[in-house]
Structure 1
Amino acid sequence: MASKSPQVNDLIVCPICFEVYREPKSLPNCLHTFCKSCIKSYSVTSVNKNSKNTFECPVCRACYHDVGDCDTWVDSLPNNHLIISLIDQGKMEKKELYCDSCIRLEKSQPAVSWCPECCDYLCENCVKCHKTYRFTMEHTVCNIEEREKTDKLKVDLFCKQHESRRLEVYCFDHEEPCCLMCATVSHRKCDKVSSLEDCSQSLGADVTRMLSKLEELQKTCVSEIERVADDKKSLKDESAEIEKRVKTITKEIIQTLKEKEKSFLQHVEKTEENESFRLQGMLDELLTVQKTTEDNINILKNSDEFPKVALFLELKQMEKRVSEIHTRTNKLAKSYHTSVLDGHIDDTVKTFHSSFKTFGEIKIRENKPLIDYLSTKLVLERSLVVEGSSCLTDVDILDDDIIVTTCPTTKTLYLLDMTGKQLSSFKLKGNPWGIAAIQNKTFCVTLRDPALAMIFKVKDVSITVLKELNTSSNAWGICVEKQRIILSTEKQGGGQVFRFYNLEGNSCGEREVNVGGFYCGAINATPEEPLLFTHHAGNSFFSLDLNVAGSATKFHKGENMKCPIGVTRDPNGNIYVACYGSNNVLQFNKNGDFIREIIHTDSAVQNPYGIRVKRLGDDIKLMLTTKGKVLVYSFGD
């Protein structure tokens, strides 16, 4: 047996080999633990020696009978997981390195030094031997602690095929290092094989080149890490927003149910009270009749006690009273009807809890790579013909998948799916112009003659009116900014009036401007960005900061802009203006600087009115109305 090392914890040392346990196995009765190989060798020797198929524990001499095949018996012994955990814990805590020479001899001794020539860790004894062997006596051995502090290159300098030989050449054809023997045998036909010493002399340019690549890679990693971290934060914010919306909807449903319940129960109570009052009146009258009848019966039963003359007169009066009581009783009996309080619960209420299977649907939508809106070309993806229309004035998207558009000649509102299939339509009171999506498949439409704005709700594919906004004068442009609806309406003497409403349609202020014109105008506003509005007759468009007092700023006027109507923004804040007179769409950056004519005059674009850049399905699209069609453009490569 090997001598016991005093440096090793006794709890994890095998009592047979005095080394750290390898595959510790415990005996079933006495629970003493040994290396699997140690106890297997010991059991074989013990069984063969006594020829009784029995075996005694090497520590306590506990006897085990009917061992049978020792290899099978030892393999079936349970592993000592406590010992395994202690060994693993010791490795994690100490991170102890062991002598490579001793490991080759199947021993285990802590390393104290490092030989950079041999790439070996060495214990104290092996260091002494290392300095005496002819082939290693000139190797410089360093302290292991210093080596761990300074060495960053964990490169094995010895050949994988011939472990005793150092790497000396590099084959560029196979892109691998090897020893001279490998070079002679395996790489003798390769075109470019150089010594590692020669290769290492010209590292400057390679280091600079690799450093440049790695620094660029590091920048990319930093950028991607920031993007992923931002997406993770956005995901959390979106989750919180969805949770807020769900709780708000739930609260509104519960509040509405409670209000309806309260109103219904109050009606039940009032109905029961009124009917009880009627029945109590009849009950009081019958009780009075009963009391009178009982009194007369008592008089007649005690007639012997009264004077004859008095009794005679009382009988005559009683005859009249009985006749009257009889008539009144019959009348009450005929007029009485049994009251049943019949409570009818509306079918919608009774089936509400079973009318939907889930609260909604959650899915991960993969965002496409960021679009460079200022250089990417627009590609006409499809042309959606709206049957029955001849002049579509505006367009918007509801919940990323429903297209809503209007036609003033037919005074009709249309809902389309992403392929252009008409889902439903709705006849309007006046001539529609602007459209603005609000939230949860609600939207608002401006009308002329009569001057109105109408808020609609889409459920499945049916359209219902939620509220009508009396604007007092014709409304044209419309948009939704933060928590308010903004309308542009006519102003006497020129200019226009911007009227503000909350999302429920309640008026909450206005703002007048003396520039531009209401006629055929469109407006657009987004959070933290100024309001944009077009001036059809003036061939220009303006910007107005709603949070700051002052006049509007003219953004653009040029020959390429004739009769501008529609205006919108992309997700980066860049501006798009649809020009009815010049049959084109102009693009500007967020500061109002002209960029390009992004849609040129062609046969597809004739007198464009409405324009939107919004998500449709999984991608951002540009939607344009022209005559009786909705043109759908994608931002191509």
Structure 2
Amino acid sequence: MDVPGKTAHKSFASSMKSLGSSEDYEIYCQPCDRNGPRLPAYGFCTDCKEHLCESCFKHHKRHTLSMHHNLLDKNNMPQTMQLSSAPVHTRQLDNLTTPCQKHTKEVIKFFCHDHKALLCNACVTLEHTGTTCKVNYIPDIAGQIIDSKEYKDILKDIDTITDQCNKMSEDLKKLTAKSNSSLADVLISIKKFRKEINQRLDVLERQVENAAKAIQLENDKNFKSVATTCDDVTKSLKISADSIKHLNTSKQADRLFMELKLAEQMIKDYEKSVQQASTYDVKEYNFNSNNTISTFLKTQKSLGSLAQTTIETKICVSTPKDKNMCRITGMTLLPKNHLIIVDSSNKAIKIMDTHSHFITDQLQLDFSPLDVTAVTSTELAVTLPWIEKIQFVSAISNNLAKKQTLNTDGKCSGISYYQGKLVVSFEDLSKLQILNTNGTVLKTVQANFLSNIFGTTIFRKPCYVKCSQNGIYISDSELKRVVRLNWECEMIGNYGGMSMPNGISVSDDGSVFVCDSVRYVIEKISGDFSTGKVVLKSLKDPHAVCWCAETSTLYVSCDSWNDQTSNFIRRFSIHSFK
């Protein structure tokens, strides 16, 4: 009997004829029996516990996954069938129908533990060989998955992400409604402003129109007066002329003489009247627009602008891996929209996508971290005060992993990095250190040392520290202020009047956002440390803060030991803070 891809051994040829159909074989190839005609057994695999035909026997020796299996030839193989596992494998094989995404004509049958990848035959042969990866046949390892911990954890993760999506969708719906409502108010304000402009322009227009009309009335009045005078003169002179002509014709010399003398006097009087009338100045006018208004209108590019109000979003940072309520004590930003979060209560470092607001990875530590800083675009440094160490962490492709550690000579608190230097605060020891990334201490600044030199204590309990080209910024919970040092550790600015300054974040212009956990506010200190103003209030115990200049966004954690507050980061879009 010919089977595509398989050739029966010659020694079995006569047996095949004498035994009849392949269904009569007492010992047959179990793999072939599951997917095709029944063929006589040629050997036996003690690892798979299956009889094999000659073709399967030879292929078994060459296949990556089975090349090291123990095989028995036909003389040493068991002479009875072992069928205990066949029903399970047959059932499992019926379910293995999912095509491989990479090799579309192959079906997924294997799992690589090293790469956590589902594989087909081609994947195993070409990329995940037995010498490089731990690969298992799925039916061999799938039996314990029913109602397993992994099954329950996956469902729990699905529920968590589903809840996050639903909450994010609901929050976005509310925020969108609020935004649209505010824009409706904006349209009303635009109309109102335009109406006010129109009303003012109408007033100014009426003023100019009234001035023009007044001149027109004066012109008409003067014209009427002159016209009346001229008409009266004309009429009187005509009467006098007619009378003189008549007296002259009738030879009435006496009366003519008197009339001429009267006319002479009348002419002199009328000449004065006409001369006065001729001196009236009638002017022509042009309209000269107000240059200030004209220039203003030409230079303005818009009627106004849309100013964003402070918009808040609550982001849940609790994950199924957490055993406790979150306590976010430090944050820093990495490129490509990644916010690094220190959760000291759960001894974890978390990475959050700032677009989706999902926690994409979580690194568990043996001890509670306190603060974090970005060293490079893919590397972090985290303070571990309880074991007096700084832990370096890689952050590549959304994955967090431990790297080397540095020992510190005390319980390290805040940490910040700038141009090859780590600046670390030691709250309990009242000191500040500047180190390189190899752990070499470049400078140690003790509070007592500063007091002796400058005659004043610069800090006593330096909590959080941030550094930039503008210097080193320190929040002091005991002196209740934020101080600014230059890189020689000389104080060049301080801002007090706070109750309990904690986390700080520095913007590019040198202004500082600081959490005041007792007053429940975020205060913004100007770059020259001369003034400050409350930019956010009514925050329950604000602890850590992180400013993103690119998006004008402020991230704030609240350490209130309330799961409705502590398990969330509050995101504020505040363009007005620029």
| TM-score, scaled relative to structure 2 | 0.43
| TM-score, scaled relative to structure 1 | 0.39
